[in-house]
Amino acid sequence: MFSFRRISKEKSNSEKAPSRYSFFERASFSFPIFLKAGMALEGCLVLPLFFLFTVTLLYSLEMVRFQSDAYEAMHQVGSKMCFLAYERVYEQGTAGLFTDSQEEEIKQYLGEQLLPYLCVEEGSDGVIVNTSWDNCGDGNLEIQTSYAMKPFVRWLPIGNIEITDAFFGHGFVGYREGGEEGGKNSDIYVYITPSGSKYHLSQECTYLKINIRAEEAEEISGLRNGSGEKYYPCETCRPGKHGLVYLTEWGNKYHGETDCPSLKRTVYLVPFSEAGGRSACSKCG
């Protein structure tokens, strides 16, 4: 396996032994032919396997990317549907939500990505989109996409990978009025104040909005509120008979201080069943 030249003994003038590196300086190495051929064969086998491994890894990342894009498309379309749910349910009816636009929008978003449908069986036609909306009008939305991922090497006994993703959302349908519908109790919501004896159906009711104005106490006997009633002194702050007093357009009390608790409105939105026996407001009820 190794061949060497003859090494002659050399001595210097000082009769010293030859240098220990002289052996390697005079030796020559050579490999047999069969060993060189084996290395070339290994290179021919390893490089394609390395290339196949790299491409398979990149293809796997592409599958993950497509799944992420599909869910993002569902999320965007579903959020849009939830935002427009009130208008479509109450103006067009529930059937107005069942259109083919959701599937078209999802596929349009996926088609705008780099190398779209590269790993999906049958491409765009292989993506199935199903949209369901709660028929009771409660606003529950579900979008489901189904597709099959094909392997990079088709002749391997792996088969397609079936993927199903779903998006769940709740539409902005507001509060519903009425008695019983669909076997469930539907209670209307009303606005109340802690010390008030009335419930209100509108948040914009003038009894809930306080517009305070100042008047002279000597003139209070000749003033009337918006309902034509007289003003009486507040039992909480007990205003004097002289100086400025404070009143509201629809209240029937006048106050000696602007920070009187009776001038503050804490409004609660509660079901009608929790109104506590309050009667309806004469303006909005």
- What are the pLDDT digits (tens) for 184-221? 445 688 888 877 788 888 877 877 777 788 888 888 88
Enter the pTM of the model.
0.44
The lowest-confidence range among 62-71, 206-215, 222-231 is 206-215
The lowest-confidence range among 31-35, 102-106, 122-126 is 31-35
pLDDT over 70 at 178, yes or no: no
Residue 90's pLDDT is 54
Q: Cα–Cα distance between 156 and 154 in angstroms, integer?
A: 6
Residue 147's pLDDT is 92
Q: How many degrees, rounded to 5, is the angle at CA 96 between CA 92 and CA 97?
A: 130
- What are the pLDDT digits (tens) for 136-149? 456 678 888 999 99
pLDDT over 80 at 113, yes or no: yes
Backbone angles phi, psi at 70, to 5 degrees: -65, -40
Taking all residues of the chain, what is their mean pLDDT, rounded to a whole number?
75
> Which amino acid type is present at position 41?
L
pLDDT over 80 at 239, yes or no: yes
Q: What pLDDT band is residue 12 in, cutting at 50, 70 and 90?
A: very low
Rg from Cα positions in the chain: 43
pLDDT over 80 at 65, yes or no: yes
Residue 18's pLDDT is 55
**Domain boundary assignment for the chain:** 36-170, 188-280
Residue 38's pLDDT is 62
Long-range contacts of 84-89 (CB under 8 A, 24+ apart): 85/139, 85/141, 85/171, 85/172, 85/173, 86/171, 86/172, 86/173, 86/174, 89/137, 89/139, 89/171, 89/173
- What are the pLDDT digits (tens) for 85-97? 766 655 555 444 5
- Pick from 38-52, 97-111, 238-252 the range whose average pLDDT is largest: 238-252
